[in-house]
Structure formats: structure tokens, C-alpha cells
Structure 1
Amino acid sequence: MPRRRPGALRAVQHGPRAGEFPPPERIHGLSARTSLAVHRVERLSADYYVHPGATDRALRRYRGFLEPPGRRPLYPQDAECSCRGCSFDDVRHARDVLDLVLEQLPARPRAELARRVAALDTVYLKRTLPDPFADRRHWSADLWWHRRLAGGREGG
């Protein structure tokens, strides 16, 4: 009876495991390594709002909010519902999710994602107005992106 080659034995031992997830899609604007680290954080996070695909959706939402050309101020719109899907209607929630993911990432992926978010934050600060009554609000007044005027129609 022919003997199996060692490489064939190792291939069988290290093949795909039963509980493994399919490889994640790469997040637009991030390296494959950072996308994999983000996917890992999303999969292992205990937070309700951090789930597989949440970071990509948050980045797209944040970018989409800031895309309209012009110099008119933008006003974030409150979400109608607080479920996982509807909560992204509020761009401030998208920024919250990005902040949660940044806290859990290892150093190098965190730095790469932080650079992308910082560039968007700069535009957000330029395109939104400060809320003079933010210190009187009960919710998340400690986060700077919540201390901007909101409630108007998005897009100016």
C-alpha cells in the first residue's frame, strides 16, 4: 500500500475548520490586514451595535453624509429607531460605532483606521455647527461629534 506524503497529511490537518467564517470582504479604503482585524473585532465584540459589516457601513454612512458639495452647513438627523439597521440613519451613531471599533483594534490597524476617520472628522467639523446647549443635554455630551447642531434636513 502506498504511503501518503507528509505534505498531504499536513494539508488535511490544517484545512478549513468547521467553525471558521468565510474570509471578509475588504473594506473600501483600508488594507487587507486592517480589514481582517476589523472583521475579527466585529465578530468577537459583545456590543450590540458592533456586528459583522458595521464598520464598513459606518464608514460609508459617514462619508456619504459629508459628500454633498458646497459650503452650506450640514445637520445630522436623529434616527427614527434604535435597532441595528435604522440607527445608522444618524451619522453620529455611525461615528459612535467607529469609535467603539477603534478602541478594540490592535495598534497598527487602529492607526490606519484612525487616519481615515480623522480625515472625515476634519470635514465634519468644518461642515457642521457647534451646539451652544450641548452641555445641558443628558446623552453623550462628552463626545465632540454629539456637540454639534442637529435635527435639520441632511444635505443642507
Structure 2
Amino acid sequence: MPRKRPGALRARQRTTPVLFRSTVTWGTEVFPVPWPTRLDRLSRRTVSAVHRAECGRPDGGGLWPGATDAALRSYRHFLALPGRWLYPRHSVCGCPTCDVPDDVAVARDVLELVRLRLPPGARRELTALLAPLDEELERRTVPDPFAHRRPWRGDGWWHRRMYHESAHL
């Protein structure tokens, strides 16, 4: 008796995939949370820990689902720019979702916030991923000698870098 082809068996088994694992409440609205995305150069266990950190608090706490991926992309994009010296730019909007693609310091703030919320093993892996990026940022940006006069900027060393001249306007 002839067998059915594997493709025919798979075609019969097609179901709609479950795209959302849980929900997040924001005020009175409930939003579905997508499955964790694959983060480049991180293990599945760390990606799951990052997803739990991003979706763990009901108010968000400065994070949203996919914040780590957006921040890593922004950080790598900024470091891939040509030229010997790089000057970060301030973003116009004040919300973190708009600031992450524009301001590398805000992207690094998001990565630091995620790093601090991770369990020790995942924290070690994310720190190892960020170390060469931090070295490159420190090497290609210029320290700001007057950064101590701006206490509102932030505590991370990445806020004490020289920004683009149009940042004052």
C-alpha cells in the first residue's frame, strides 16, 4: 500500500500558530504580548529572561516588549556610522520609544535597565555582549569636560560624552 507524501501530511496538519503568549495591561487597556524575538548572539534562555524582564511589570517601568531588540539595533547602527569620531544627537521627543532610535544614550539606558533586571546567568551573557559595543562607543566618542554641570542627564558614563553641536539649539 502506498504511503502518503510528507508534504501532504503536513498540509493537513496546518493550524494557525499562537503568536501571543500573554497580555499586558496598560491603564484600562489590555494588549497581547508577542512571543520573544530572537536576539542576535544571545541564547534562548537569555532571550526568554529578557522577555520576562520587558513584560514583567504592569506599568512597564521604562520597558516595553521588544525594547531590548530596538535598543541593540540602535546601538549597533550608531557604531556602524562612518568616520573616526561619532557625536550622539539628542532626540526631539521625550518618550523612550521615540528616543531609542535617535539617541544612543537612551538606547544604552534601556539596555542597562534590562541588564539590571535579569537573573545572574542572563545578566552575564548580556554584559558580555555589551562589553565590545561599550568599548567601541567609548573609543569613538569624545568625553565632555563640562558634563558635571548637567546633573539631569543620567548616571551612566555614556551620558558624559560630547554631543553634536546642533544639540544646544
Match of 1:111 in 2: 124
Whether the 8 Å contact between 1:58 and 1:98 is mirrored in structure 2 is yes
Residue 132 of structure 1 deviates from its aligned partner by: 0.5
1:87 Cα deviation after fit: 1.1
**Alignment of 1:54 onto 2:67:** yes
More strand, by proportion:
2
Which of 117, 133, 151 lines up with 1:138 in the alignment?
151
- CA distance in structure 1 between the partners assigned to 2:159 and 2:128 by the alignment: 20
Q: CA deviation at 1:106?
A: 0.2
Q: 1:136 to 1:107 in 2, by over 3 A?
A: same
Q: TM-score, normalized by length of structure 1?
A: 0.79
Match of 2:114 in 1: 101
Where structure 1 has 5 or more consecutive residues not aligned to the other structure, the ranges are 1-15
Give 1:47 shift. Answer: 4.3
Structure 1 moving runs of 4+ over 4 Å: none
Q: Secondary structure at the match of 1:40?
A: helix
Structure 2: distance between partners of 1:113 and 1:124: 16
Counterpart residue number, 2:137: 124
CA distance in 1, matches of 2:38, 2:154: 33
Contact 1:26 1:36 survives alignment (8 Å)? no
Q: Does 2:37 align with 1:25?
A: yes
CA pair 85-135 structure 1, distance change in 2 beyond 3 A: same
Aligned length, in residue pairs: 136
RMSD: 2.1
Is 1:78 the counterpart of 2:107? The answer is: no
SS in 1 for 2:126: helix
Where does structure 2 lack aligned partners over 5 or more consecutive residues?
Answer: 1-17, 23-32
Percent of aligned positions that are identical: 49
Query: C-alpha distance in 1, partners of 2:90/2:53?
Result: 27
Q: Distance in 2 between matches of 1:115 and 1:149?
A: 25
Per-residue deviation, 1:133 = 0.1
Bigger relative CO (Cα 8 Å, ≥ 6 apart): 1
Contact 1:27 1:35 in 2 (8 A): yes
1:92 and 1:146 in contact (8 A); partners too: yes
For the pair 1:150 / 2:163, whether they are aligned, the reply is yes
- Does the 8 Å contact 2:96/2:106 carry over to 1? no
